[in-house]
């Protein structure tokens, strides 16, 4: 049964890749290029593989990724994981935006294995996104899988849609924030987390 399901999954992936390859060929022709010339011959296949990698988050579930990597702890003080690099694709132009995520949470008797925080960030970054929603989704997922008393997430991002096209302003940084649970109504907690972020910067 498992091999049958695996075979069906492979067939679906191949079908989706074929659709992307066809679309890339159509784009190349629409901009006046020849998809059959040597330099572009394998471009549709490469682009299909790229999208499969950069948009792999749709197939992942944070609860399954974390699994049993939740560990008992006696303390309930702030846990901060800062400077997590991420790369995502803006849903408006399918151009990249990149930056770092800072995650803080207040444990409720359990802490998340350290490596799982960047994995959760990647799950949602590897989807078509806007930074505002990405920030909220990361916070909601960490709250959901850990049962934390509070979660706060700050994302810094630089967007190619602002640096390469439109206003063409490289170096502009967008900062978004999500606060849940105890962080929502406690300015002192929010300041404490932001201080941890400041201290973690080079």
Tell me the residue range of the domain where 49 lies.
2-54
The contacts of residue 154 (CB under 8 Å, 6+ apart) are 101, 102, 135, 175, 176, 177, 193, 194, 197
| Residue 4 binned pLDDT confidence (cut-offs 50, 70, 90) | low
What pLDDT score does 2 carry? 57
CA distances 144 to 30, 68, 180, Å, are: 45, 14, 11
pLDDT > 90: what percent of the chain?
Answer: 91
Q: What's the total number of domains in the chain?
A: 2
pLDDT score of 189 more than 70: yes
**92 and 149, same domain (yes or no):** yes
Q: Is position 4 annotated as part of the catalytic site?
A: no
pTM: 0.92
Q: One of 29, 73, 92, 132 is an active-site residue; which one? A: 92
Mean pLDDT for 85-107 is 98
**48 and 87, same domain (yes or no):** no
Decide: 135 and 153 in contact? Cβ < 8 Å: yes
CATH of the domain at 97: 3.30.1130.10
Decide: 161 and 90 in contact? Cβ < 8 Å: yes
Mean pLDDT for 151-174 is 96
d(CA 117, CA 29): 42
Q: One of 21, 102, 129, 131 is an active-site residue; which one? A: 131
- Tell me whether residue 17 is in a domain: yes
| Residue 175 binned pLDDT confidence (cut-offs 50, 70, 90) | very high
Q: One of 93, 136, 156, 158 is an active-site residue; which one? A: 93
Q: Is position 74 annotated as part of the catalytic site?
A: no
């Amino acid at each position: 049964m498992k091999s049958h399901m695996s075979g069906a999954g492979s067939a679906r992936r191949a079908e989706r890749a074929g659709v992307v390859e066809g679309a890339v060929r159509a784009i190349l022709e629409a901009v006046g290029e020849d998809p059959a010339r040597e330099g572009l011959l394998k471009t549709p296949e490469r682009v299909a593989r790229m999208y499969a990698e950069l948009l792999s988050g749709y197939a992942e579930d944070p609860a399954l990724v974390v699994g049993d990597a939740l560990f008992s702890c006696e303390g309930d003080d702030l846990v901060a994981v800062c400077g997590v690099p991420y790369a995502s694709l803006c849903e408006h132009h399918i151009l990249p935006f990149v930056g770092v995520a800072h995650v803080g949470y207040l444990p409720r008797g359990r802490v998340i294995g350290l490596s799982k925080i960047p994995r959760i960030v990647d799950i949602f970054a590897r989807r078509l996104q806007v930074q505002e929603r990405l920030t909220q989704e990361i916070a909601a997922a960490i709250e959901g899988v850990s049962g934390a008393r509070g979660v706060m997430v700050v994302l810094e991002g630089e967007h190619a849609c602002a640096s390469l096209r439109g206003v063409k302003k490289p170096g502009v940084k967008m900062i978004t924030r999500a606060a849940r649970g105890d962080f929502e109504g406690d300015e002192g907690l929010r300041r404490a987390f932001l201080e941890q972020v400041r201290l973690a910067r080079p």
